Amino acid sequence: MKHIFVINPAAGQGKSLDFIKAKIEAVSKKYSLDYEMYITEKKGDGIEYVEERAKSGEEIRFYACGGDGTLYDVVNGAYGYKNVQVAVVPLGSGNDFIRLFGTQEEFLELEDQIEGVPVELDLIKCGNEIAINQCSMGMDAEVCAMQGKIKKLPLVTGEGAYYIGCLYAIVKKFHNKFTITIDDEEVISKDCLFCFCGNSRWYGGGFMAAPLAQPDDGLLDFVIVEASVSRAKLVTLLNKYKRGEHLDWDITTFKRGKKLTIHSDSPAAVNVDGECKFITDTSFELVEKGMTFVVPRKSKFLVEREKRLAGK
């Protein structure tokens, strides 16, 4: 198998490139890997590179070396190719997707990645884009769009940028008139703060939006939060939302399913694993077992997964 490390040189505010190159060279020598390193040059570059290499049909494990944006590029380039696997070497400030599988420090143990366990995970299809972690529409997507700008500032963490983005969106982007259909059956028309679709649990630098989600259970977790509280009250709820304590709120609708379609009366922000745009209509649809993801060999997720599968 070929091992290809796709490295974003801007990750970690540009301080991680020499560090990760040295680690890759050392572990590749130790395991006598057939490996390459590819350093991205511009936004979207990783998608094109990964797809072009995947087309060859060669068995390849791609390592997304960067933040959630680098993972988005690798996932979208690799999607649809059964000959490839995706792993993560987290160098960014958020690294939300990997939280279910382990810490950043654990993922940086490259030996555990080389000897990791390939697991088939679900994906989310949103238009022509693929998410491995989450999609959302409304106020929190506005937060994401603002967060992307703020976290480029010196000394601002991913979590800190999310809080700043929240305050902006609470003031400017509070109300969203959505019509939502889940699995072509249940129709929900409400004034919403946002509509969230989770394949895994965290986003925004550590906010647990979908506390019950499992990325391999053949279902997506849909969380719809109404705009029926005051702005002042919402500010007091942010930390509870971060801890995943919102599913039983009166303003929350929680459903599991395979497809959610959403219409907005006016253009609203849509967040697909951190990539944001403004539209009126979209859908979040399950792609069951859409990608092979490499879980580090010591991950507790593997033990918990065996217990879940045994219980079925």
Residue 21: pLDDT band with limits 50, 70, 90 = very high
Q: What is the pLDDT of residues 102-155, one digit of tens each?
A: 999 999 999 999 999 999 999 999 999 999 999 999 988 888 777 767 766 666
- Tell me the residue type at 280: T
* Of 107 and 92, the one with more pLDDT: 107
In the chain, the percentage of residues whose pLDDT exceeds 70 is 96
Confidence tier at 312 by pLDDT (50, 70, 90): low
Plot region of 3 (φ>0 → left; ψ -120 to 50 → alpha; else → beta): beta
- CATH 3.40.50.10330 domain position(s) in the chain: 2-116+296-310
The radius of gyration computed from the CA coordinates of the chain, to the nearest angstrom, equals 19
Q: Is the pLDDT of residue 177 over 90?
A: yes
Q: What pLDDT score was predicted for residue 148?
A: 67
Tell whether the model's pLDDT for residue 256 goes beyond 70.
Answer: yes
Mean pLDDT taken over the chain: 92
2 forms beta bridges with 34, 60
First to last CA, the chain: 33
Task: Write the CATH number of the domain with boundaries 2-116+296-310.
Answer: 3.40.50.10330
What's the average model confidence in pLDDT over 177-188? 91
Ranges for all domains in the chain classified under CATH 2.60.200.40: 131-288
pLDDT score of 44 more than 90: no
Class assignment of domain 131-288?
mainly beta
- pLDDT (0 to 100) of residue 32: 98
Average pLDDT over residues 260-272: 93
Q: Which of 98, 68, 49, 64 has its CA nearest to residue 274?
A: 68
